[in-house]
Amino acid sequence: MTISVNTMRAIDHWVGVPLCAVVSPFVALIDGIKNMVSRGPETPKKMLFIELSEMGSAILVDPAMRNAQARGAELFFLIFKNNRASLTLLNTVKPENIFTIDASSLSRLVKDTLRFLVLARTHRIDTVIDLELFSRFTALLTGMCGARRRVGYHIFHGEGLWRGFMLTRKVHYNPHIHITKNFLSLIHAAFAQKIEVPFSKIEIPDSEVRLEQAILNPDSLEKVRHRIEKLAHDAGINYTLGKNRLILINPNASDLLPQRRWAQQRFSELIQALHQQFSSDLILITGSPNEISYAEKVRSVANVKNALNFAGQVSFTELPPLYTLSDVMVTNDSGPGHFSAATPLRTVVLFGPETPALYGSVGNSIAITANLACSPCVSAANHRKTPCQDNVCMQAITVSQVLDKVITQIQASDQAKAS
């Protein structure tokens, strides 16, 4: 059984704080000894990124990774084992340079952590980028992995989550710019020739926030196409991909922040409204294999013939083909909103506890948010944990609002295909 999010938060606090306090002086002592012996490389040569829990962040950090790659750095990545697939969408990091930690049990977590600390030294990692905003666990990994240059976010004089003194280059996290720009500021700090306090004193233009597109395997594209058409045929639906539109509905969100979910009933009502507008088009309700029953409830309540449960029907690596074949997707603020940005798919993403200003998709996306006075209620300062048990921010988003934006995206998709 995978360790729960709340258990990991508790371990990170009750074990992480004292460990950071104990380890920090030793890290500083080792740094002092190393600096007396040699200065190390002038610029990063082997750069490790650490982002364990957020699959979407593996996409949002891609512009920063390619920036570092263009400067001559070889890239490495550390991520939880069950999130590893998110790095395969763009393949920016070589498979052999991806390290994983299995969080399915405490014993495996400890074992893989120790294994990683050995691997980092074996590969002579000289620079580590801690992408996490609040994790003491990643701070400890950063400080103990042997890298001479360690870059990450520091609270300075702010009231925030104390993570010890593991960093050699401390970056100010800016909560007023998109996370992709915050990630790019880490790269500037890593390659800077002089220390800034705080990093990074640069302007990051919007042009740098550009995501590469996934390279499609023709065989995978054809397999997904055949699977969709067969499912429609078996359900007695007269549907031809390319002739009729394909609309995706992604109703679930991860257990990391369940407050992000728009109600199942609303998704069912949206499907009914979409069918009234586009009666000949196919609607697929998507999700992971463990979300099949959740998707089925949405489908059964909608009771629309042209809406099919497609949860668990494609593997993670088949998402780019699925998204490329589709016209529009409606999704909660979750991984698919970011994964689809690596394809031409147009999306409508529903935001509540978080804000699109910081975490919006960088693809062809329209964000909807209720802009309540309490939103966003999760941030780096509260470990992304909210006391809210009544997500009015999501309930306030109406079916008609979403339908209006879906129609806008469908019209844009139609125009793109006609040009």
CATH of the domain at 122: 3.40.50.2000
241 and 191 fall within a common domain:
no
Given pLDDT bands bounded at 50, 70 and 90, which one contains residue 161? confident
Tally of domains in the chain: 2
Predicted local confidence at residue 67, as pLDDT: 97
Residues making up the chain, counted from first to last: 419
When the pLDDT of each residue in the chain is averaged and rounded to a whole number, the result is 93
Examine the domain organization and report whether 54 and 171 are in the same domain: yes
Helix (H, G, I), strand (E, B) or coil at 2: coil
Residue 55 lies in a domain: yes
CA atoms within 13 A on the CB side of 195: 8
d(CA 399, CA 330): 11
Could you give the CA distance from residue 239 to residue 236 in angstroms, rounded to a whole number? 9
Distance CA 60, CA 339 (A): 9
Residues 344 and 316 in one domain: yes
Sequence-distant (≥ 6) Cβ neighbours of residue 272 within 8 angstroms: 302, 303, 304
Sign of the torsion formed by the C-alpha atoms of 20, 21, 26 and 32? positive
Cα angle, residue 78 at apex, residues 66 and 358 outer, rounded to 5°:
60
- DSSP H or E stretch at residue 390: none
- Residue 55 shares a structural domain with residue 204: yes
Q: What is the dihedral of CA 16, 21, 27, 32, to 10 degrees?
A: 160
Percent of the chain with pLDDT over 70: 98
Shared-domain flag, residues 156 and 294: no
Residue 310 has pLDDT above 70, yes or no: yes
Query: What is the domain range of residue 115?
Result: 5-208
Residue after which a domain boundary falls, among 166, 188, 208: 208
Let me know how many helices (H) and strands (E) the chain has, helices first.
15, 12
Task: Say if 259 falls within a structural domain.
Answer: yes
d(CA 7, CA 184): 31
Do 198 and 60 belong together in one domain? Answer: yes
Residue 262 placed within a domain: yes
**pLDDT > 80? residue 41:** no
Is 237 inside a domain boundary?
yes
**Please, which pLDDT band fits residue 403 given cuts at 50, 70 and 90?**
very high
Residues 257 and 400 in one domain: yes
Query: Tell me, what's the pLDDT at 4?
Result: 72
Residue 202's CB: how many other CB atoms inside 10 A? 12
**pLDDT above 90 (res 2):** no
Q: Which amino acid is at 297?
A: K
Q: What is the pLDDT of residue 35?
A: 82
Worst-scoring range by mean pLDDT, 31-40, 163-172, 213-222, 371-380? 31-40
Q: Are residues 377 and 343 in the same domain?
A: yes
Dump pLDDT digits (tens) for 215-267: 999 999 999 999 999 999 999 999 988 899 999 999 987 777 889 999 999 99
Answer yes or no: is pLDDT of 194 > 60. yes
Q: Are residues 157 and 222 in the same domain?
A: no
In a shared domain, residues 37 and 169: yes
Write down which residue in 175, 190, 208 finishes a domain.
Answer: 208
106-122 helix and 136-144 helix, angle to the nearest 10 degrees: 30
Identify the pLDDT of residue 11.
85
Q: What was the pLDDT predicted at 264?
A: 96
Q: What is the pLDDT of residue 379?
A: 81
Domain co-membership, 238 together with 321: yes
List the end-to-end C-alpha distance of the chain, in Å, as a whole number.
51
Residue 40 pLDDT: 66
Average pLDDT on 165-169 reads 95
Residues 6+ apart with CB under 8 A from 58: 51, 77, 79, 83, 86, 87
Q: Which residues of 271-290 are buried (b: 16+ CB within 10 A; e: fewer)?
A: bbbbbeebeebbbbbbbbee
DSSP3 helix / strand / coil % (the chain, rounded to 5): 45, 15, 40
pLDDT band at residue 7, thresholds of 50, 70 and 90? confident
- Say which residues have a Cβ less than 8 Å from residue 282's Cβ, sequence separation at least 6: 228, 232, 237, 239, 244, 245, 246, 247, 306, 308
Name the least confident of 33-42, 261-270, 328-337. Answer: 33-42
Does a structural domain hold residue 200?
yes
Cis peptide, bond prior to residue 376, ω within 30 of zero: yes
Whether residue 381 lies inside any domain: the answer is yes
pLDDT for the residue numbered 157: 84
Same domain? For 204 and 223 the reply is no
Within-domain flag for 83: yes
- Half-sphere exposure of residue 129, counting CA atoms within 13 Å on the CB side? 28
Q: What is the mean pLDDT of the segment spanning 328-356?
A: 96
Mean pLDDT, range 170-177, rounded to an integer:
93
Please enumerate in sequence order all residues whose Cβ is within 8 A of that of 103, keeping only pairs 6 or more positions apart, or say none.
2, 3, 8, 52, 80, 81, 82, 109
pLDDT the model gives residue 50: 97
Domain-ending residue, one of 208, 242, 270? 208
Indicate whether 213 belongs to any domain: no
Comparing 253-257, 296-300, 404-408, the range with the smallest average pLDDT is 253-257
pLDDT of res. 54: 82
Q: What mean pLDDT is predicted for residues 312-334?
A: 96
Q: What is the pLDDT of residue 313?
A: 96
The reported pLDDT for the residue numbered 55 is 85
Q: How far apart are CA 92 and CA 70, in angstroms?
A: 11
Q: Of 403, 391, 392, 335, which Cα lies nearest the Cα of 366?
A: 403
CA angle 275, 280, 283 (to 5 degrees): 55
pTM (two decimals): 0.93
Query: What pLDDT was estimated at residue 53?
Result: 85
